[in-house]
Amino acid sequence: MTTMMNQHQQPKKAVGKAEEEVVEPTPEVSKKDADPLDEFQAQAEMAYTAYLEAQRKVATAYKERERQEERTYKEIEQQANSACEAAIEHALRVREKAEQEAEQAYKKASEKAMGVYQESVRQALRVCRETIEQAWKASRETSEQIWKIFQGDKAREKGTG
């Protein structure tokens, strides 16, 4: 849009704020002497200046909004990372606790198994000892019986012979 208007062009009516900011001619120039085209040109220039200022404000607002969105994104990203780290740390603590409980359960089961083993060995040794004692007793009794038989045979041999 150009700031100068051709004298043959019809001026467009300014809308909104620009219309309210009409510059009054200076007292030196009477209203009769003021050229209506100059007035319209001044209004157009003020409207164009207002348009450029509004455009600058919109661009500034968009940039500020973009910065706010970036800050919001960074905050959410940081929160997500913090939550993730906390969840990982919690999972690690849960795993360590489970491993510790498993180790304790293993130790307890191992001690119980050792107790069962030792009791079984004691019983096996007792049974073995008792069996050997019974076998020894049976062997002695058998030997005594054989000896008695042998001596009885000798005594009979003496008596008959």
> Can you tell me which residue has the tokens 């906390």?
86
| Angle of CA points 14, 15, 16, to nearest 5° | 130
The pTM of the full predicted model, rounded to 2 decimals, is: 0.45
CA distances from 161 to 28, 150, 152 (A): 187, 16, 14
- pLDDT of residue 19 exceeding 90, the answer is no
> Would residue 29 count as lying in a domain?
no
Q: Within a domain: residue 151?
A: no
Which parts of 66-141 are beta strand (E)? none
- C-alpha distances (whole Å) from 135 to each of 141, 145, 147 are 10, 15, 18
Kindly tell me if the per-residue pLDDT of 4 is higher than 50.
no
* Domain annotation covers residue 119: yes
The pLDDT-based confidence of 33 (bands split at 50, 70, 90) is low
Q: What is the mean pLDDT of the chain?
A: 84
Residue range 132-156: mean pLDDT, rounded: 88
The answer to the question of residue 153 being in a domain is no
pLDDT at 148: 86
Q: Is 13 helix (H, G, I), strand (E, B) or coil?
A: coil
Q: List CB contacts of 3: < 8 A, sequence separation 6 or more.
A: 41, 44, 45, 48
Q: Decide if pLDDT at 21 tops 90.
A: no
How many domains are there within the chain? 1
Average pLDDT over residues 91-107: 98
Question: Residue 44, Cβ neighbours under 10 Å: how many?
Answer: 19
The range of the structural domain enclosing residue 111 comes to: 37-146
The answer as to whether 152 is a domain residue is: no
